[in-house]
Protein backbone atom coordinates (compact mmCIF):
# COMPACT_ATOMS: atom_id res chain seq x y z
CA UNK A 1 0.00 0.00 0.00
CA UNK A 2 1.26 3.45 -0.88
CA UNK A 3 1.27 5.31 2.41
CA UNK A 4 3.29 7.78 4.49
CA UNK A 5 6.35 5.52 4.30
CA UNK A 6 6.86 7.04 0.86
CA UNK A 7 6.11 10.70 1.58
CA UNK A 8 8.43 13.47 0.54
CA UNK A 9 9.30 13.92 4.22
CA UNK A 10 10.29 10.24 4.44
CA UNK A 11 12.59 10.57 1.42
CA UNK A 12 14.07 13.79 2.77
CA UNK A 13 14.70 12.11 6.11
CA UNK A 14 16.38 9.16 4.38
CA UNK A 15 18.96 11.55 2.98
CA UNK A 16 20.04 12.63 -0.45
CA UNK A 17 21.81 9.79 -2.22
CA UNK A 18 21.91 7.61 0.89
CA UNK A 19 21.60 3.85 1.25
CA UNK A 20 18.33 4.50 3.09
CA UNK A 21 16.94 6.49 0.14
CA UNK A 22 17.96 3.71 -2.29
CA UNK A 23 16.21 1.19 -0.06
CA UNK A 24 13.10 3.36 0.09
CA UNK A 25 13.11 3.63 -3.72
CA UNK A 26 13.26 -0.15 -3.97
CA UNK A 27 10.37 -0.54 -1.55
CA UNK A 28 8.28 2.00 -3.43
CA UNK A 29 9.10 0.35 -6.76
CA UNK A 30 7.92 -3.02 -5.42
CA UNK A 31 4.73 -1.53 -4.00
CA UNK A 32 3.86 0.25 -7.24
CA UNK A 33 4.45 -2.98 -9.18
CA UNK A 34 2.25 -4.92 -6.76
CA UNK A 35 -0.61 -2.43 -7.05
CA UNK A 36 -0.36 -2.26 -10.85
CA UNK A 37 -0.22 -6.05 -11.18
CA UNK A 38 -3.49 -6.30 -9.22
CA UNK A 39 -5.07 -4.37 -12.10
CA UNK A 40 -3.12 -5.69 -15.08
CA UNK A 41 -3.10 -9.42 -14.32
CA UNK A 42 -6.89 -9.95 -14.35
CA UNK A 43 -7.15 -8.02 -17.63
CA UNK A 44 -4.43 -10.16 -19.24
CA UNK A 45 -6.18 -13.34 -18.08
CA UNK A 46 -9.42 -12.06 -19.64
CA UNK A 47 -7.64 -11.33 -22.93
CA UNK A 48 -5.96 -14.74 -22.97
CA UNK A 49 -9.30 -16.36 -22.14
CA UNK A 50 -10.80 -14.72 -25.24
CA UNK A 51 -7.87 -15.91 -27.36
CA UNK A 52 -8.17 -19.44 -25.98
CA UNK A 53 -11.91 -19.37 -26.74
CA UNK A 54 -10.93 -18.63 -30.36
CA UNK A 55 -8.80 -21.77 -30.57
CA UNK A 56 -5.49 -20.90 -28.95
CA UNK A 57 -4.11 -22.98 -26.09
CA UNK A 58 -2.12 -20.36 -24.18
CA UNK A 59 -0.79 -21.42 -20.78
CA UNK A 60 0.45 -19.17 -17.98
CA UNK A 61 4.20 -19.64 -17.65
CA UNK A 62 5.21 -16.52 -15.74
CA UNK A 63 6.73 -16.84 -12.32
CA UNK A 64 8.56 -13.54 -12.00
CA UNK A 65 7.18 -10.49 -10.26
CA UNK A 66 6.12 -7.89 -12.82
CA UNK A 67 5.80 -10.40 -15.66
CA UNK A 68 2.76 -12.05 -17.17
CA UNK A 69 3.70 -14.57 -19.86
CA UNK A 70 1.50 -17.00 -21.72
CA UNK A 71 2.74 -19.50 -24.31
CA UNK A 72 1.08 -21.91 -26.66
CA UNK A 73 3.34 -24.94 -27.07
CA UNK A 74 4.33 -26.16 -30.50
CA UNK A 75 4.55 -29.87 -31.00
CA UNK A 76 8.06 -31.23 -31.44
CA UNK A 77 9.39 -30.75 -34.95
CA UNK A 78 12.64 -31.36 -36.75
CA UNK A 79 13.67 -27.89 -35.60
CA UNK A 80 12.98 -28.74 -31.95
CA UNK A 81 10.31 -27.44 -29.63
CA UNK A 82 9.00 -23.95 -29.70
CA UNK A 83 5.87 -21.91 -29.29
CA UNK A 84 3.04 -21.11 -31.67
CA UNK A 85 1.89 -17.98 -29.91
CA UNK A 86 3.37 -15.94 -27.09
CA UNK A 87 1.46 -13.22 -25.26
CA UNK A 88 3.40 -11.34 -22.62
CA UNK A 89 3.39 -8.16 -20.59
CA UNK A 90 6.44 -7.01 -18.66
CA UNK A 91 5.86 -4.22 -16.20
CA UNK A 92 8.70 -1.76 -15.75
CA UNK A 93 8.49 0.72 -12.90
CA UNK A 94 11.22 3.24 -12.28
CA UNK A 95 11.57 5.01 -8.96
CA UNK A 96 14.44 7.33 -8.26
CA UNK A 97 15.69 9.69 -5.66
CA UNK A 98 18.98 11.26 -6.66
CA UNK A 99 21.77 8.80 -6.00
CA UNK A 100 24.50 11.40 -6.22
CA UNK A 101 26.37 12.28 -3.08
CA UNK A 102 25.99 15.95 -3.99
CA UNK A 103 23.28 17.97 -2.35
CA UNK A 104 20.62 19.58 -4.55
CA UNK A 105 22.19 23.00 -3.92
CA UNK A 106 25.67 21.97 -5.11
What are the sequence ranges of the domains in the chain? Answer: 7-90
| 100, pLDDT greater than 50 | no
Query: What pLDDT does 9 receive?
Result: 94
2 close to 32: Cβ distance less than 8 angstroms? yes
Query: Which residues neighbour 17 within 8 Å (Cβ) at sequence distance 6 or greater?
Result: 97, 98, 99, 100, 101, 102
Task: Please tell me the distance from the alpha carbon of residue 14 to that of residue 94, in angstroms, as a whole number.
Answer: 18
| 8, pLDDT greater than 50 | yes
Segment 99-104 mean pLDDT: 49
Q: What is the chain's percent helix, strand, coil content, to nearest 5?
A: 40, 25, 35
Reported as a single tens digit per residue, the pLDDT across 14-43 is 988 889 999 999 999 999 999 999 999 999
Reported as a single tens digit per residue, the pLDDT across 35-75 is 999 999 999 999 999 999 999 999 988 767 789 999 998 77
Query: Which residues neighbour 66 within 8 Å (Cβ) at sequence distance 6 or greater?
Result: 33, 37, 90, 91, 92, 93
pTM for this entry: 0.75
| 101, pLDDT greater than 50 | no
Amino acid sequence: MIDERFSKAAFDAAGWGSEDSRSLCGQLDAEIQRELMEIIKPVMYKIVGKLNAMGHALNDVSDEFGEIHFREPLESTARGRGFKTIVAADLVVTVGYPQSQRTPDA
